[in-house]
Amino acid sequence: MEIEIDAAHFEIDSDNLAEEWVNHPQRVYNYTAKAANARMRYEEAKRQEEVLRADTSLEIRKNPESYGLTKVTEGLIEAALLADDAVKAAAQHVIRCKYDLDIVTAAINALESKKKGLECLVQLHVTAYYAAPNDKSAYKERNCNYEHSREDRMPIPGIKPKVITNGDEILSHTS
């Protein structure tokens, strides 16, 4: 059975975050339901393969000549099982069911990643990341006054100023 995955479900429309959040839980539910069905099919396929292998093994033991065996050993029975077309088909079915389960699990992981991306985008919007630029002139005026008046600076606790001389000039430096 082919699992349908829509890649558009993993994209984020940053212009419609509210709609993305409204649709996200239903998408997660749909994919987790698909995962449950895929897991059930996988477990059933494994069980059917085990039963088929056991039945075929008993048939080989009862009638080794029909499988081209002259004597019955565990190694020869295993080789005959691996060569049996029905056992090969059952093993291939198990592999396909496991693949489908892995694909749906990857889709669920992608939805978890999308959820984290949605959370981060909402946080950016809340903190006005996308806001229009502010007028920085008042900030610049305040900083200009700050830079021109070094003696007005508050000392940082635990850090002592160093005095550096450059010829006749004394420069004050803090570190």
Q: Who has greater pLDDT, 96 or 6? A: 96
Look up residue 62 and give its amino acid: K
Lowest mean pLDDT across 16-30, 72-86, 134-148: 134-148
Residue 110: pLDDT band by 50, 70, 90 thresholds? very high
pTM, two decimals, is 0.67
- The pLDDT score that the predictor gives to residue 71 is 87
How far CA 64 is from CA of 11, 68, 72, 75, 79, in Å, comes to: 58, 7, 7, 13, 12
Q: Which secondary-structure segment (H or E) carries 7?
A: none
Identify which has the larger pLDDT, 94 or 15.
Answer: 94
Flag whether pLDDT at 156 surpasses 80: no
